[in-house]
Structure 1
Amino acid sequence: MIKFIILSGTILLCIYLTEQVYFLQPEYINKINSKTITWQAGQNFHPDTPLEYFKRLLGSRGVGGPKKNEPVKSHDPKYSSCHHIPKEFDARKKWKQCKSIGTIRDQGNCGSCWALSTTSAFSDRLCIATNYEFNEMLSAEELAFCCKNCGLGCYGGFPITAWKHFRWHGIVTGGAYNSSEGCQPYQIAPCLHDEPPEIEGSCKSHSVEENHSCRRECYGDTKLDYKEDHRYTKDFYFLDPKTIQKDVLTYGPIEASFHVYDDFLSYKKGVYIKSENATYLGGHAVKLIGWGVENDVPYWLLLNSWNTNWGDNGSFKIRRGTNECGIDNATTAGVPLVDEYLYEKTL
């Protein structure tokens, strides 16, 4: 009986350890590449990275799309200027002067993807709406830890509620970790995903980030006034899949949430389509900046928040038009409120 218990415990332990790392092993990555046609996999994370680490990164609770009574935008008078939808589009090329559009962020050991993706898209849209007068980042730090209705900070949140927060409460400026840019820079250190735990700066050498206290003051650029530094949107909405392209062409990048499966973690290039037997891990939020067609496969172009070492220099493509991993039905945005800001700039 004792031998049976020990044997059973050993088997369960082996199964658990296998579950932790099997999808990061070279054999599994090679298996992906032997079956996929539209994309290629490679090592983005150290093979010993535990399963729980990835679950912490996946913090979007908005993958299911709009719930009852949540706003869905299907038309806009300004869409009339979109006479032609280009076959390929990249917001980084369209609005080159906006430095936030191409910035690859790093959420660190925190499930704050929902906060980084929405503040990043809002930053881009505000830059575009002000004709580049506003050209900095908005604070994911303030959103993640001060918007209590949005979610649980590092433990996930709702992108649509973030845009709603921008509408009613606004958000201050805030640059990257270890910078003094803006009112409230990001306070979670980036980490190296593909290094073993003994290497300084590796993700496994960093402790799991606990939620920060909400600070209602500027600690980055202390010359800024906290209350006056807030920027707002005039609305918030989910997008009808048919109007995603028109909204991006009119106002700029948007947030997009989708289901993440274990094969996605090893994405390197090409148009991602979920592998047949891939295992579901959680919901993730990223920034959608464009689209195109590659080898006859339509795709969305997106920026992730796992630093530039992941994927295609921090970006990836996913199949468009088939609701791949739920992404076509789970995009959110808001239109910046710029009149007051422009008025202040002319004084």
Structure 2
Amino acid sequence: MSSFAEDLHAALAGPDHSISPKYFYDAQGSSLFERICELPEYYPTRTELALLDQHAPEFAARMGQSAQLIEYGAGALVKVRRLLAHAPQLHSFAPVDISGPHLLAACESLWREYPHLRITPVIADFTRAHRLPEAPEGGRRIGFFPGSSIGNFDPQEALTFLKLLRTELDGGALLIGVDLIKDPALLHAAYNDAQGVTARFNLNLLRHAQRELGLEYDAQGFDHYAFYEPRRQRIEMHLLPRGPQMLQLQGRRYPLVPGQSLHTESSYKYSVETFQQLAREAGFVPQTVWTDDAKWFSLHWLAA
């Protein structure tokens, strides 16, 4: 049984009906997320891109000579281009992503743009143990984890994941994007866009399960629901049943009734100080932090 099937069975059978957001990202989900990143309400992408554009030469200088750049959850390889354009001294680039077809399609254009750079895509769940290309002799590994994807982990999961990266990047560093605590109205708009793209992205998790696992369900039976939970300082995304629903997966039947939901994503927001403390607990040494003028988003350089 695939890990997706195992996790979906556990989510549908469990008391809180919660599943990892990594299962959003089949080819269709990855394409929808690219559209989300272009929406006027979705501030994280444009704010982070502006920071990358402004500080890319400094990031490239910090990498040093003959470094191996590793991007976790690489997706469409949009943001890393800001770094690559200023880092001709890189030894190699290893983008890691769970969606193989999407990653390989993105690498095709990157190979054409950087024909002299070693580009080795790694199709893997980067939250679990995975194999990377051999590190360069005399160089070091630099991790790149943009988009505030660290917010998709609960605090204990985030600590475990950062410890994994600390081991993998030993002797190097991590450049990571972290969304900051802000006005809940801005957060609500970002996750409930007027065009409904985020709703289609959320609902695609069930369609992904239908395509890949044969999930049987009423495609018109669920609504997208997202809200800010201030006590936990996180956005929550759910799929709410419109009425009593029966989902069937590999011969097992799972009822959902109004008042229940499938919890598909959490997106934690941090202060600079609380994130730095988390990084220290994982074994990193926080160094420079860059934020936009409104202090909506931050980029952290963490020494491993």
TM range (shorter): under 0.3
Find the structure with the greater CA-based Rg: 1
Larger RCO of the pair (alpha carbons < 8 Å, separation 6+):
1
TM-score by length of 2: 0.27
**Structure holding more strand per residue:** 2
TM-score by length of 1: 0.25
